[in-house]
Homo-oligomer: A and B are copies of this chain.
Amino acid sequence: MNARRKFRREGEERRRQDLIDATLDSVAEYGLQGATLRTIALRAGVTAGLIRHYFPGKEELLQEAYTALVGRMTEQAKAALVMEDASPRQRLAAFVTANLNAPIIDQRVFSLWATFLGRANADPTLARAHREGYLGFRNEVEAVVAEVLAAERRKPDAGKLRHHAIAINAIIDGLWIEGCLAAEMFSPGELAAIGVKAIEAELGLAPEKGGNQ
């Protein structure tokens, strides 16, 4: 009567990715408590038992999922920096703009970010994954800032440069959060405009010539 369920064998890498994606989906939708092995398996189109074939336990699956998330986030964010034939200042502005619009401004990603980060002080593995992503991001910012200031013939010392990077990182993070949590409170491009202006003020750049007052 009860026929056994049909299934397909997938390549290991493909299955692992599917399981990680299903995990992130589940966490975003139901939170850490609602992301049960059965929920995750259902979303991945397999049965719960299979998860233990690829991961030692639930905790490791969650850790790998968070690591994957951080990786994708920083990768996306940094992708906006690879512009050939652009002035440092233009690259910085493009970087900020990219980080303050879709798809980086995204409620689902924010939920994931917040959910996992809430456990960072209790789970060193999560804390490390975050720390690495954060420092990578900030170093990227610092490098662009150095280029921008160099193009203006300014030579800041290391401390000043670090402070600029910290402040700019904070501006981007803060606006990113505001945008993710309440996208409908801002008109399209508004956050990016605010961010670019705030960052240029932080760096003491003269306003771009054009019709702004």
A: residues with CB less than 8 A from B are 29-33, 107-108, 110-122, 130-131, 134, 163, 166-167, 169-175, 177-178, 181-182, 191, 193-195, 197-198, 201-202, 204
Contacts and interface: CB of A to CB of B under 8 A. Distances in A.
A113 B114 CA distance: 8
Contact of A32 (B31, B113, B172, B194): B31
B174 A178 contact: no
B173 A177 contact: yes
For the complex formed by this chain, how many copies does it contain in all? 2
Nearest to A116: B118
A20 to B, nearest CB: 18
Given A201-B202, A201-B204, A118 B31 contact: yes
A33 B32 contact: yes
A170 B175 contact: yes
Contact of A118 (B111, B131, B166): B111
B167 A171 contact: yes
A114 B110 CA distance: 10
Contact of A182 (B131, B163, B174, B193): B131
Contact of A172 (B29, B117, B174, B197): B174
18 contacts: A31-B118, A31-B122, A32-B32, A107-B121, A108-B121, A110-B121, A114-B114, A114-B117, A118-B118, A120-B181, A163-B194, A166-B191, A166-B194, A170-B170, A170-B174, A171-B174, A198-B198, A201-B202
Most-contacted residue by chain B among A107, A108, A169, A201 (CB, 10 A) = A201
Q: Determine which residue in A111, A131, A202 has the highest number of CB atoms from chain B within 10 A of its CB, and name it.
A: A202
